[in-house]
Amino acid sequence: MTMLAYHEFSRTPERDVYSLPSETFRRHARLVDGLSGARSCITFDDGHRSQFDFAAPILDEMRLAGIFFITTAWVGFLHSVMCWRDLRELQQAGQIVGSHSHTHPMLTACGPVALRNEMTVSKEIIEQRLGVEVDSISMPGGRINERVLMACGEAGYKRVYTSRVAERKRSTGNLPEVIGRYIVRGGTSDRTLAAYLDGDPFVCRRLEMESRMKTVAKALIGDSLYHRLWRKAARSGAYGS
């Protein structure tokens, strides 16, 4: 099973590497639909409004179901993210809403109480608002370790989504299943994406290497500096794939 993760969309190409033109997403959705059918899944992090405006109608049109991971403290407070009415509409259209924590901290840096709150508050709010059980969570900033994984299990999550390509751990005991995803960016070519969806071992290894290098770089220089440098480099084309 291949997993894709998206963030933002726009009508026209933008400079931000995490933002994709909606036409690009339409091509990607077509690839998912055509190449791999039920073996692939499209996920979204952060609950940005553009996911509702641009991506959801395309999923609808192609009868594809995705998972929308939302940060509950942002809903109803940030203009840029979907409100509960949008989320209810998504759910009624057959989409899944999962947790992306309550306030979006790096969970690996949270103390035990904060960590537990991030997990449980977010889960409870979504369940209360939408009336469904929430058993999936995606990691803010992709950060995860054994302690975070255990807290996810204790809070009742069955599946944990990260941003490492091809990462896969079966659930054991109380520990949830860990599922890696490929973070799709503005510079991702259709060819790379098609090869990944098709399970091309060479491309999968390359993407795995890239995501491993990113994890190491983040650990070495810290997350915020890393993101600033990376966005800058990606804009200039150095990381286009």
Residues within the interface to Zn ion (CB under 5 A):
45-46, 140
First-to-final CA distance of the chain: 21
Q: Which is nearer to Zn ion, 35 or 114 (CB)?
A: 114
Alpha-carbon gap, residue 139 to 37, rounded angstroms? 26
Q: How far is CA 215 from the centre of its chain?
A: 16
Which is closer to Zn ion, CB of 122 or CB of 203?
Answer: 122
- Closest contact distance (angstroms) between CB of 112 and Zn ion is 22
* Smallest separation (angstroms) from Zn ion to the CB of 47: 9
Q: Which is nearer to Zn ion, 46 or 86 (CB)?
A: 46
Q: Which is nearer to Zn ion, 27 or 159 (CB)?
A: 159
Least distance to Zn ion, CB of residue 140, Å: 5
b/e per residue 37-66 (b: at least 16 CB within 10 A): eeebbbbbbbbbbbbbebbbebbeeeebeb
CA distance 56 to 50: 9
Q: Which is nearer to Zn ion, 54 or 74 (CB)?
A: 74
Work out how close the CB of 142 gets to Zn ion at its nearest, in angstroms, rounded to a whole number. Answer: 8
Q: What is the Cα–Cα distance from 204 to 195, expressed in whole angstroms? A: 8
Strands 66-70 and 136-138: unpaired
Distance (Å) of CA 215 to CA 95, 105, 119, 165, 168: 30, 17, 23, 11, 16
Quick one: 62 or 219, whose CB is closer to Zn ion?
219
Minimum CB separation from Zn ion for residue 5, in Å?
9
CB 97 to Zn ion: min, Å: 15
Tell me which DSSP letter residue 176 carries: P
